[in-house]
């Protein structure tokens, strides 16, 4: 019984720490922290109109969540905060990213959060989300 209580208290404390999410923008990097712990992040650039997209847009890259924090909602929270910031603060309506075709977890996350396949390459997809 003693070990069960210790494990339950530890899990409760971990869940409370992880539930306190903060979204920060730092040097072209979107970040989510729980307490002092970095739980998800993505680099970004603001791109000028080009031959594919005729308006300014934000490109995301190196989006990652440490394995220990995966499946706890941090990546989704990060994306939600990015969408809000890009649309309301930057006044930009398009976000793009590239994902490897064999990265099923990431691909499912992006598609379930409104990204669509924009360009298909041999081993990856360019995805786009209109806000």
**Which pLDDT tens digit goes with each residue over 65-85?**
999 889 989 999 999 999 999
| Orientation of helix 74-88 relative to helix 104-112, angle to 10° | 40
Find all residues with CB under 8 Å of 37, minimum gap 6, and list them. 17, 18, 69
Alpha-carbon distance of 13 to 101, in angstroms, equals: 37
Task: Determine what percent of the chain is predicted with pLDDT higher than 70.
Answer: 85
CB 49, CB 56: distance < 8 Å: yes
Alpha-carbon distance of 50 to 44, in angstroms, equals: 17
> What's the Cα-to-Cα distance from 73 to each of 3, 105, 128, rounded to whole Å?
28, 13, 21
What residue spans define the domains of the chain?
A: 21-130
Tell me the sheet residues that pair with 44.
60
**Which pLDDT tens digit goes with each residue over 5-14?**
444 544 544 4
User: Which is more confidently placed, 11 or 110?
Assistant: 110
Alpha-carbon distance of 31 to 101, in angstroms, equals: 25
Q: Order of strands across the sheet with 29-34? A: 21-25, 29-34, 37-47, 57-64, 94-100, 124-130, 116-120
Q: Which fold has domain 21-130?
A: Aminopeptidase (3.40.630)
């Amino acid at each position: 019984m003693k070990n069960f209580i210790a494990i339950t208290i530890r899990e409760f404390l971990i869940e409370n720490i992880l539930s306190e999410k903060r979204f920060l923008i730092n040097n072209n990097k979107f970040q989510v922290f729980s307490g002092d712990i970095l739980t998800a992040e993505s680099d970004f650039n603001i791109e000028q109109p080009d031959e594919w997209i005729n308006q300014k847009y934000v490109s995301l890259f190196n989006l990652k969540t440490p394995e220990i924090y995966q499946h706890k909602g941090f990546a989704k929270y990060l994306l939600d905060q990015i969408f809000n910031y890009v649309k309301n603060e930057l006044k930009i309506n398009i976000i793009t990213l590239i994902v490897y075709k064999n990265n099923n977890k990431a691909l499912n996350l992006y598609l379930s959060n409104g990204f669509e396949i924009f360009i298909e390459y041999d081993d990856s997809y360019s995805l786009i989300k209109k806000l």
